[in-house]
Amino acid sequence: MDFQLSSLLKPSALADADTARELLALNEETQEYGLELTQEDALALAETRRIALEASGRVEFGTPVIEKIIRTFSRSRYLYQYDYAPVLHELLEAFFQLKNETEDRFSDDDLIDFLFDCFEYRYRGSLEMFRGREIEQLRGILLFGAEDEENEDGEDPDDE
């Protein structure tokens, strides 16, 4: 019998039901903001979490990241019931991508707070920040504190 510890640590589709149950329990907290996950939403988020973990080569015990994302973002003034689950999917994927790209230099809480601040204040609820080139810009802000390489005049500061 070939036994591999890594196969035990991988999240499985069977665990998705447990994750979904934990996410549904958060509805009691998020209902005050008019946000609620359905059973289907919760199962889909559990699957997105599992896929994001596998794609990033990460292991997570329990559901602390997705729970913190839900608790943090449910208070956003830009989040509504109709886009609640889609935003959570994007956030999960962005979180694990940024966690890898910043080589774990930031705690989970700090990264989630950073994403919330960007979503709420910098991008005013736009999901574009979680896609393509924007994720690279977020990585740069996190690592270097700079939005881009140009100053206000549009000139590259290294050319001076």
pLDDT tens figures, 8-36 = 444 466 678 899 999 999 999 999 999 99
Per-residue model confidence (pLDDT) at position 130: 72
Per-residue model confidence (pLDDT) at position 158: 41
* Phi, psi of 123, deg, nearest 5: -105, 0
End-to-end Cα separation, the chain, in angstroms? 66
Evaluate whether residue 154 is within a structural domain: no
Give the pair of three-digit tokens for residue 2.
């070939």
Evaluate whether residue 77 is within a structural domain: yes
Evaluate whether residue 2 is within a structural domain: no
Evaluate whether residue 159 is within a structural domain: no
With a CB cutoff of 8 Å and minimum separation 6, the contacts of 146 are 140
Which domain covers residue 62, as residue numbers? Answer: 10-146
Per-residue model confidence (pLDDT) at position 108: 94
Q: Which residues of the chain have pLDDT under 70?
A: 1-14, 132-133, 146-160
Per-residue model confidence (pLDDT) at position 13: 60
Structural domain total, the chain: 1
